[in-house]
């Protein structure tokens, strides 16, 4: 018996079991959070999105303003002890007119935290992500000297230091009360870094201008923050980004392996064992 051949067949059969399929997100295949003015009627939105939720999945802490909720999706800032941590409403970044709004994040919060109200998993399919270099989003260079920014001109983007950009983390749980202690790295199951100055579509869709880590296709929370600032900055740094049209789809999960396939694998293992015993007896 050719043991190497059998081992090869076994490996190939088991490796081929890893396929994917979609599962519904709260009964819908896709949800788009596009911040219409009729819903986004506050000038700012609070924190606590990463904490154990209050009744109805809402943020337990607000900092004076509730977290944003649209179509079963909650968006706020993580709690960081600041007490005034918040996100901002801004004008349309898609040309949608006065009735269309977007979400803005800069140096008075610990980032943008996205989860479903019911804590269910999702695929971060796409989002419009705008962080152009300008008067509220500086280039500091490798030294990161807050007192001496190098430029506020898009043409100088080549001066960016390696840490000037945006980190996006994905988590398997919707509740992550201590993420700031490890800057997200301790418990994240997905991670991507986008250099500052980026403007375009970000997501797991292959057509995105920036394609995220594939693991973002099955997460229960997403956290976006400027690299090195998991809590609200206190050093005077200027950064600014805006978010719109956040599309969440059904999470992509492993397909349960049919019993017949496992039996096939078990049978191959039995053949391998039998072959080895036979070889030993022959010797």
Read off the pLDDT of residues 38-92 as tens digits, 9 standing for 90 and up. Answer: 999 999 999 999 999 999 899 997 766 799 999 999 999 999 988 888 999 999 9
3-class DSSP state for residue 266? helix
Residue 212 and residue 73: Cα distance in Å, rounded?
20
**Separation of CA 16 from chain center:** 28
Please report the pLDDT score of residue 63 as a whole number. Answer: 67
Residue 245 and residue 178: Cα distance in Å, rounded?
28
- Interval 227-241 mean pLDDT: 96
- Judge contact between 137 and 196, C-beta under 8 A: yes
Residue 79 and residue 86: Cα distance in Å, rounded?
10
Longest CA–CA span in the chain (Å) reads 85
3-class DSSP state for residue 56? helix
Please report the pLDDT score of residue 65 as a whole number. Answer: 78
- Interval 91-100 mean pLDDT: 91
- Judge contact between 1 and 271, C-beta under 8 A: yes
Residue 278 confidence (pLDDT) above 70: no
Residue 235 burial by Cβ neighbours in a 10 Å radius (0-12, 13-18, 19+): exposed
- Interval 210-226 mean pLDDT: 97
Q: Which residue has the tokens 């004008």?
A: 91
Phi and psi at residue 199, to the nearest 5°: -140, 115
pLDDT tens sequence across 136-188 = 999 999 999 999 999 999 999 999 999 999 999 999 999 999 888 888 888 99
């Amino acid at each position: 018996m050719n043991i190497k051949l059998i081992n090869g067949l076994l490996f190939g059969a088991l490796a081929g079991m890893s396929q994917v399929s979609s599962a519904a997100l709260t009964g819908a295949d896709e949800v788009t959070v596009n911040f219409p003015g009729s819903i986004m009627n506050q000038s700012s939105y609070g924190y606590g999105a990463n904490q154990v939720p209050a009744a109805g999945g809402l943020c337990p802490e607000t900092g004076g303003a509730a977290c944003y909720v649209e179509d079963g999706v909650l968006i706020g800032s993580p709690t960081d002890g600041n007490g005034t941590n918040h996100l901002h409403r801004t004008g349309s970044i898609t040309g949608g007119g006065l009735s269309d709004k977007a979400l803005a994040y800069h140096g008075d919060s610990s980032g943008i935290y996205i989860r479903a109200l019911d804590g269910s998993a999702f695929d971060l399919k796409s989002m419009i992500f705008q962080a152009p270099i300008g008067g509220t989003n500086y280039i500091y260079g490798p030294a990161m000297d807050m007192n001496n920014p190098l430029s506020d001109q898009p043409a100088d983007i080549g001066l960016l230091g390696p840490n000037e950009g945006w980190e996006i983390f994905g988590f398997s749980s919707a509740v992550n009360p201590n993420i700031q202690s490890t800057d997200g790295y301790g418990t994240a199951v997905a991670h991507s870094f986008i250099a500052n100055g980026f403007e375009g579509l970000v997501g797991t869709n292959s057509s995105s201008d920036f394609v995220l880590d594939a693991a973002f296709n099955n997460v229960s929370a997403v956290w976006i923050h400027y690299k090195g600032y998991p809590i609200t900055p206190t050093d005077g740094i200027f950064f600014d980004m805006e978010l719109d049209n956040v599309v969440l789809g059904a999470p992509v999960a492993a397909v349960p392996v049919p019993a017949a396939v496992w039996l096939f694998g078990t049978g191959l293992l039995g053949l391998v064992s039998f072959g080895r015993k036979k070889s030993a007896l022959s010797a």
